[in-house]
Amino acid sequence: MDGVHDLGGRQGFGTVQPRGHGEPFHSEAEIRIAAMWVRLVRQGLYNMDEYRHAVERMEPRHYMAASYYERTFTAVATMCVERGVFSAQELDSAAGAPVPLSRPSKAGRVGNLQLPDIRIGDRVRVKNEFVPGHIRMPGYIRGQTGVVVGISPPYPFPDAHGHGLDSPWQRTFDVQFDSRDLWPDGAEEALVQVGVFHGYLMLERPPCSSEPQPAA
């Protein structure tokens, strides 16, 4: 899905200001939210892709105004309601005020079993496709071409894993892109490396020459 969370390459947010390493928590509430998140993952209430998708589904204005741990709380509360741990009404009653939850999920998809043989050094193109559910493909690389520079072990295919669907695991390929291809006239010259799932990639074939070939 294309959501407000997918900020790569978007304009209007100002310069990134590195702040170095700081304290991981700034309040007792953040510690409790983090502990709750870890506990429920370990208990199997949801997996990491389902959690990510719950964050992605937040109402855009809420997402932009929320802190990191408020987004975490919203996703966890949403998953608890969707899994039947408690109802939205019970949550509102306990909080003493309405608690905003993420919007309903759209459909997921299983991975394609017919995948191209990709190796380090191959030139690949990211598929120019849009899906309504969870996906771990940054929007700014959609339809772009790059070179494979590394291969990682198989992981759960997020488009299925984020929706509780069974699907074969897939490798991710470290694909190197030219920043000027990603953001023409809007970026300094640099190489951008992105881990891309196998199912999001196609082998880039060289164009066929229109010149006549000599007879054998």
* Residue 166: per-residue pLDDT: 96
Q: Binning pLDDT at 50, 70 and 90, where does residue 212 land?
A: low
Q: Check whether 215 has a pLDDT greater than 80.
A: no
CA gap 65, 204 in Å, rounded: 41
CA gap 33, 84 in Å, rounded: 19
* Residue 208: per-residue pLDDT: 52
List the structure tokens of 30. 């953040």
**pTM for the whole structure:** 0.86
pLDDT digits (tens, 9 = 90+) for 145-196: 999 999 999 999 999 999 999 999 999 999 999 999 998 877 789 999 999 9
3-class DSSP state for residue 73?
helix
pLDDT digits (tens, 9 = 90+) for 10-69: 777 777 777 777 788 899 999 999 999 999 999 999 999 999 999 999 999 999 999 999
Could you give the domains of the chain? 1-103 (1.10.472.20), 123-203 (2.30.30.50)
List the structure tokens of 74. 């919203």
List the structure tokens of 7. 């900020």
CA gap 160, 113 in Å, rounded: 13
